[in-house]
Amino acid sequence: MTLNGRRVVLGVSGGIAAYKSCILARRLTESGAAVDVVLTAAATEFVRPLTFEALTRRPVLSSLWERGRALSHVELARDAELIVLAPATANLLARAAQGIADDLLTAILLAAEVPVVAAPGMNDAMFAHPATQANLTTLRERGWLIVGPAVGALAEGPSDRPGRMAEPEAILVQAERLLRAAGSALRDRHVVVTAGPTREQLDPVRVITNPSSGRMGYRLAEAAYARGARVTLIAGPTTLEPPVGPDLVRITSTAELCAALEQSLPQADVLLMAAAPADFRPAERSDAKRPRADGPLTLSLEPTPDVLERTAAARRPGSVVVGFALEVGSGLTRAREKLDQKRLDLVVLNRVDEPGSGFEVDTNRITLITRDGHEESELMTKRAAAEVILDRVERLL
Ligand SMILES: Cc1cc2nc3c(=O)[nH]c(=O)nc-3n(C[C@H](O)[C@H](O)[C@H](O)COP(=O)(O)O)c2cc1C
């Protein structure tokens, strides 16, 4: 519930992508926000107000002239902390750029003094039209954040030009960031997150790796971005969707992870080391695939570079470094040793042998260990765990 009690006006205009705004209304509501949906008259041709009313459990407005709500445009403009326009039609962008206020939504836009996020969605030629482009330039200059449009299929057929509205998830990420950054110590800070396993090649087809999915690191990167940070996510091989917002740097081996970290360290204010790098690699790599018929294979492994130790040694003064410890059994003593030996500010301990925690699941039960003591959490989603970790990082900054 990262947006608990926050007030958002979701303006929906008459584009075919209006159906996707139902998902946006639902996700904003699930995040705890009070969402007031305002539809243009054209939007009500695409989606019925009742759908939004059921999703947000709040009244949905579309007319300036409704009896008993004579000043709703002023009240909604005054109470909102953010206005999200999705989809924003070519017509809505034109009216907003000109300062026209001939319906409830455009009257709110004129009366409000809060940030606006707009997600244009229209035919690709309408989007490319100089009038639309000029309107977008004007609105950007006024401080509007424009999300998308994306390139891809339109209702009328395939397209290789921008026009299609950005996905609700991408709009939600920017809305959350605008709402949360103002109160966060991570705003405009550079956060570097490592995630996933690394892979050490034995021969052209075989690797040494571990079952890390990268989820904890990805959720941390998303949560840090939502708090207004500039985020670099250095990720080993995973099948996860790239997060919206963070810069993604892909690596494979532990040595590549070290090299990528060395590049980012000089600018990093916070380092969240959630990757599970391979600790050993083959002493020799074979260029040929060794056939099974050759009999038993004896491997000689050598330790890989100690990523945490190197990072802590080269960190910027004043930066916060968080290490992750995955232990079998309680592991508290070992995690405390790690905190001291590797000069970390915080160790996040999770247990591989506990149901719902560790590798390949969406949940985690973590223990936060600092020099002042330790604190155990309940079992929660990895995104919620990321928020708990970042709350602590903000206090350490
Ligand atoms: C089936 C249909 C689909 C439309 N889709 C879009 C669209 O995706 N984007 C857009 O800008 N206009 C679209 N239009 C045109 C707008 O509905 C029209 O310009 C309308 O006046 C917009 O009003 P509003 O901006 O007040 O919502 C569509 C019209 C129809 C009939």
pTM attached to this predicted model: 0.90
Helix (H, G, I), strand (E, B) or coil at 120: strand
**260-282 pLDDT, tens per residue?**
999 998 889 999 999 999 999 99
CA-to-CA separations, 114 to 63, 98, 144, 198, 213, in angstroms, rounded? 21, 18, 10, 44, 39
91 Cβ inside 6 Å of ligand 1: yes
Nearest CA to ligand 1 atom 28: 15
135 Cβ inside 6 Å of ligand 1: no
104 Cβ inside 6 Å of ligand 1: no
232 Cβ inside 6 Å of ligand 1: no
121 Cβ inside 6 Å of ligand 1: yes
C-alpha closest to that of 76 among 153, 11, 149: 11
| CA 13 / ligand 1 centre spacing (Å) | 8
Q: For residue 105, which atom of ligand 1 is closest to its CA? A: 26
For residues 228 and 173, the answer to whether their CB atoms sit within 8 Å is no
CA atoms of 369 and 328, how far apart (whole Å): 17
16 Cβ inside 6 Å of ligand 1: yes
* Mutation test residue for ligand 1: of 10, 89, 104, the one with most atoms within 8 Å of CB: 89
Q: For residue 13, which atom of ligand 1 is closest to its CA? A: 27
| CA 67 / ligand 1 centre spacing (Å) | 27
Give first-to-last CA distance, the chain, whole Å: 24
**Residue 153's pLDDT is what?**
84
339-378 burial code (b ≥16 CB/10 A, e <16): beebebbbbbbbbeeeeebbeeeebbbbbbbbeeeeeebe
**196-214 pLDDT, tens per residue?**
999 999 999 999 999 889 9
Q: Which two tokens stand for residue 255?
A: 């040595």
CA atoms of 221 and 199, how far apart (whole Å): 21
Residues designated as active site: 210
Residue 153's CB: how many other CB atoms inside 10 A? 11
> Inter-axis angle of helices 18-30 and 168-180, to 10 degrees?
40
Domains and CATH numbers, the chain: 7-181 (3.40.50.1950), 184-280+301-396 (3.40.50.10300)
Written in H, E and C, the secondary structure of 209-257 is: CCCCCCHHHHHHHHHHHHCCCEEEEEECCCCCCCCCCCEEEECCCHHHH
* Tens digit of pLDDT at every position of the chain (397 positions): 889 999 999 999 999 999 999 999 999 999 999 999 999 999 999 999 999 999 999 999 988 877 666 667 778 888 899 999 999 999 999 999 999 999 999 999 999 999 999 999 999 999 999 999 999 999 999 999 999 999 988 888 888 899 999 999 999 999 999 999 988 999 999 999 999 999 999 999 999 999 889 999 999 999 999 999 999 999 999 999 999 999 999 999 999 999 999 999 888 999 999 999 999 999 988 888 888 898 998 889 999 988 888 887 888 888 999 999 887 766 788 888 888 888 899 999 987 777 766 666 778 888 999 988 888 888 889 999 999 999 999 999 9
